[in-house]
Amino acid sequence: MSVIDQNQAPSILSVDLSAILANYQLLKQKAETSAVAASIKANAYGLGADRIAPVLARAGCRHFFVASVAEGIALRRVTPHTIYVFGGIHAGDHDAFTAHKLTPVLNSLDDATRYKGGPCAVFFDTGMNRLGLGPAETKRIVADPELLRHLDIRVFISHFACSEDAPHPLNALQIERFATIRAALAPHYPSALWSLGNSSGIMHFGHAHYDMVRPGYALYGGNPTPEAANPMRPVVTLQSRVLQTRHVAAGDTIGYSATHRFEEASETATIFLGYADGITRKLSNSVGHVYWQGQPCPILGRISMDLTTIGISHLKGPKPQAGDMVEVLGPQQDIDVLAGFAGTIGYEILTSLGLRYARRYIDAP
């Protein structure tokens, strides 16, 4: 992808690497003696693994988790440290694990039997019911730990299903199940690490940090404690350029399917931003807002592929003109707030941000 000139870009996405560094350091404090790995899958949640991984490595991160072999190969170009592939031996070419020194996460006894060489991780499903060794396979291994003896296991892992909701009963059940597995296997695999905690797990369950935690969302500025103020520094800002302003007569409509009708004469601005840029149509018709000089501007009509129209009649002071930039994500509206309006989660907002933005990286010290 070619570099987009910021002076010509329809929108500018800024990624604050110093904020990512600060977030990693805060998570290290919360994790105390546990190693802090980084979930850097989906191109570091859409923000650029090639720029973010080196910053984390300089801060002491030695373990990175990705989803697929392709992600692992790309990440290997920028870090010599351990890269785990969550998707395991079915996530890509088996030979690539050796060629690129990638570490598969094994998700079944069949995986354990088929995998013949090199270090690995083993995933126990303690309640998510996606990937991992389920109850029957786990029971067999607990009864006979020698079933995994042929493997070079570096870490045993599991994953919280509800850690952002601290009181949810599944959290306690998963912690109990993981502790039971650990009590049975740890004496037989004394050099292996144990890892359960994700971003919210780090904050909510200090007694379950074990040897390694694996934050993702919190690194990128997402709130790991939805019940309280966000302790993480914001990482992303997004500004979009105004293409045109106009006066609209009472009774006129706007956008596809004419879903918004003006009750009175109004002023609007059209910005160069649409669902092709990851801004979901669910924000249409005053559900979502952007900001001009700290003032909210409602989205009017339907968001289209390239364009979004906002209301500006109510604004105090100078109003935006063609060429001006409005705030989509930033001090007035972070990823969790925008996600709330869209009826989704901040993870989806981050990973949906498109490729048409000029990306500006604010370097870490």
Distance CA 43, CA 343 (A): 24
Cβ–Cβ under 8 Å, residues 273 and 11: yes
Provide the 10 A C-beta neighbour count for residue 119.
Answer: 16
Distance CA 154, CA 156 (A): 7
From the candidates 24, 41, 115, 275, give the one annotated as an active-site residue: 41
12: β partners: 239, 358
Residue 41 annotated among the catalytic residues of the structure: yes
Spell out the alpha helix ranges (H) of 212-282.
none
Long-range contacts, stretch 79-84, CB < 8 angstroms, 24+ apart: 79/53, 79/54, 81/57, 82/119, 82/154, 84/37, 84/121, 84/155
Residue 256 annotated among the catalytic residues of the structure: yes
- Pull the structure tokens for residue 230: 């966000």
Task: Specify burial of residue 142 (Cβ count, 10 A radius: 0-12, 13-18, 19+).
Answer: middle
Distance CA 139, CA 155 (A): 19
Distance CA 94, CA 90 (A): 8
Residues tagged active-site: 41, 256
